[in-house]
């Protein structure tokens, strides 16, 4: 009786309010408290509430960094929170990976050897393999390789994986898989300009974008209607479009970031797409006190600026310009709206065995979304 009198029972809405503000690892443990807590945590409404509030937690959103180990090609994921106070390591399968998509609502897609494709939630460490494709069985010697990328259709709340196959002669075929279905579907695309999505593949409001491999344009794929289209580049885009720019998104719009000018003058060039109305250009001057990563050439007795290896947008809307130094990453965060900048360093490489290099960067928000639930 005494124990019962000392027990305090909180209303369910108060429990939800507390749990929704916690990191994923603590919520996963809380599922074992009782059946009510478990059913609450697994409910779609709570999953959405927690994901929304993770955007405001410094340890709930940031950059997901992937290191590729040279010896076996395995991918190791490291999450760095926006306050630079979190550095958690998530290991993927020990198999080599060929492609990795942007994080969408906390989920990513990995392309693996033997034509396997997996959809993963790095926060919960859940990874589910998709059904095997029939493309290789129909023509085992014809198709050379493939990349797979995750997309999302907001009106129908549906996730889809776009997969592009190509031959050594660079002929293409596309197929798509809807999470919750059982088979891949071949897409009909007669436009030869829809080239291989090498490099950046960016998701913005229901559309996947990537650079044209053989032409100076941008390919767009509408996830909802499953159609391709072409976007023309800005007239004054950098001549070395493939190497001197990165695709990303700013404020829910496609953006092209030109970083080659940082080698010669301290400014950042940004083109923001206005669908149907062309591009708007912004130029952001870096602060004079920003000491860029440099290396000293003793023979020539001069300094040279290390190149930017990646540009990504964080979930809070900042641009992250990433340099790789010997034992750390140098990250310059830029707010494109008020044109302010700050710099941080991240210890690198992570504690893995063997030589590795930075192979994957994406903005990421923690999520409780179950991949198996989406597949059901």
- Identify whether residues 48 and 144 lie together within a single domain: no
Same domain, 43 and 61: no
146 near 115, Cβ under 8 Å? yes
Judgement on whether residues 295 and 234 belong to the same structural domain of the protein: yes
Per-chain mean pLDDT for the chain: 79
- Cα(227)–Cα(245) distance, integer angstroms: 25
Give domain status of residue 2, yes or no.
Answer: no
Let me know if residue 234 belongs to a domain.
yes
Which tokens go with 66? 């992937």
Nearest Cα neighbor of 79 from 115, 125, 117 is 125
Q: Which residue has the higher pLDDT, 80 or 54?
A: 54
The band of 311, judged by pLDDT with boundaries at 50, 70 and 90, is confident
- Determine the Cα–Cα distance for residues 314 and 245; give it in Å rounded to an integer: 17
Q: What number is the average pLDDT over the span 307-334?
A: 79
Quote the domain boundaries for residue 47: 11-54
Q: Among the three residues 54, 73, 89, which one is the final residue of a domain in this structure?
A: 54
Return left, alpha or beta for 251; rule: phi > 0 is left, psi -120 to 50 is alpha, else beta: left
Lowest mean pLDDT among 70-74, 80-84, 119-123, 286-290: 286-290
Strands annotated E in 125-199: 126-129, 145-153, 158-166, 172-178, 185-187
**Is residue 355 situated within a structural domain?**
yes
116, 150: one domain: yes
The structural domain count of the chain equals 2
What pLDDT score does 17 carry? 93
Q: Are residues 265 and 294 in the same domain?
A: yes
Tell whether 353 is covered by a domain.
yes
Q: Please write the tens of the pLDDT for every residue from 339-354.
A: 788 888 777 666 666 6
**5 falls within a domain:** no
Share of the chain above pLDDT 90, in %: 28
Domain at 171, CATH number: 2.120.10.30
Q: Are residues 192 and 339 in the same domain?
A: yes
Same domain, 44 and 165: no
Sequence-distant (6+) residues with CB within 8 A of 73 are 95, 96, 97
Q: What is the pLDDT of residue 96?
A: 65
Query: What DSSP letter does each residue of 350-365 carry, written as one string?
Result: -S-SS-EEEEEEEEEE
Q: Is residue 246 part of a domain?
A: yes
- Which strands sit side by side in the sheet containing 267-273, from one edge to the other? 245-250, 253-258, 267-273, 279-285
Residues 71 and 211 in one domain: yes
User: Do 124 and 175 belong together in one domain?
Assistant: yes
Regarding whether 338 and 197 lie in a shared domain, the answer is: yes
Q: Give pTM, 2 decimals.
A: 0.86
């Amino acid at each position: 009786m005494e124990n019962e009198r000392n027990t305090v029972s909180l209303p369910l809405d108060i429990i939800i309010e507390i749990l929704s503000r916690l990191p994923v690892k603590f919520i996963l443990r809380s599922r074992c408290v009782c059946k009510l807590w478990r059913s609450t945590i697994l409910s779609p409404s709570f999953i959405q509430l927690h994901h929304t509030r993770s955007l405001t937690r410094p340890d709930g959103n940031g950059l997901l960094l992937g290191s590729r180990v040279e010896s076996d090609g395995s991918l190791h994921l490291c999450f760095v929170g926006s306050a630079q106070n979190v550095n958690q390591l998530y290991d993927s399968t020990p198999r080599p990976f060929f492609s990795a998509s942007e994080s969408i609502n906390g989920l990513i897609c990995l392309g693996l050897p033997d034509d396997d494709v997996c959809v993963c939630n790095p926060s919960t460490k859940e990874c589910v393999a998709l059904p095997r494709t029939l493309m290789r069985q129909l023509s085992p010697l014809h198709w050379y390789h493939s990349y797979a990328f995750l997309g999302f259709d907001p009106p129908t709340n549906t996730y889809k994986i776009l997969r592009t196959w190509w031959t050594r002669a660079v002929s293409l075929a596309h197929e798509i898989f809807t999470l919750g279905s059982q088979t891949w579907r071949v897409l009909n695309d007669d436009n030869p300009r829809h080239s291989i999505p090498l490099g950046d593949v960016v998701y913005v409001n229901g559309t996947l974008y990537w650079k044209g491999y053989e032409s100076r344009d941008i390919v767009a794929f509408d996830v909802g209607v499953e159609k391709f289209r072409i976007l023309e580049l800005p007239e004054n885009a950098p001549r070395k479009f493939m190497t001197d720019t990165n695709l990303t998104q700013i404020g829910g719009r496609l953006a092209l970031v030109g970083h080659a000018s940082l080698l010669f003058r301290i400014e950042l060039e940004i083109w923001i797409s206005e669908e149907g109305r062309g591009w708007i250009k912004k130029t952001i001057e870096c602060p004079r006190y920003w000491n860029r990563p440099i290396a000293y050439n003793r023979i020539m007795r001069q300094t040279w600026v290390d190149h930017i290896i990646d540009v990504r947008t964080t979930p809070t809307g900042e641009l992250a310009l990433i340099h790789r130094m010997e034992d750390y990453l140098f990250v310059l965060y830029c707010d494109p709206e008020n044109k302010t900048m700050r710099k941080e360093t991240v210890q690198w490489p992570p504690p893995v065995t063997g030589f590795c290099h930075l192979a994957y960067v994406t903005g990421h928000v923690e999520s409780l979304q179950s991949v198996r639930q989406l597949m059901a």
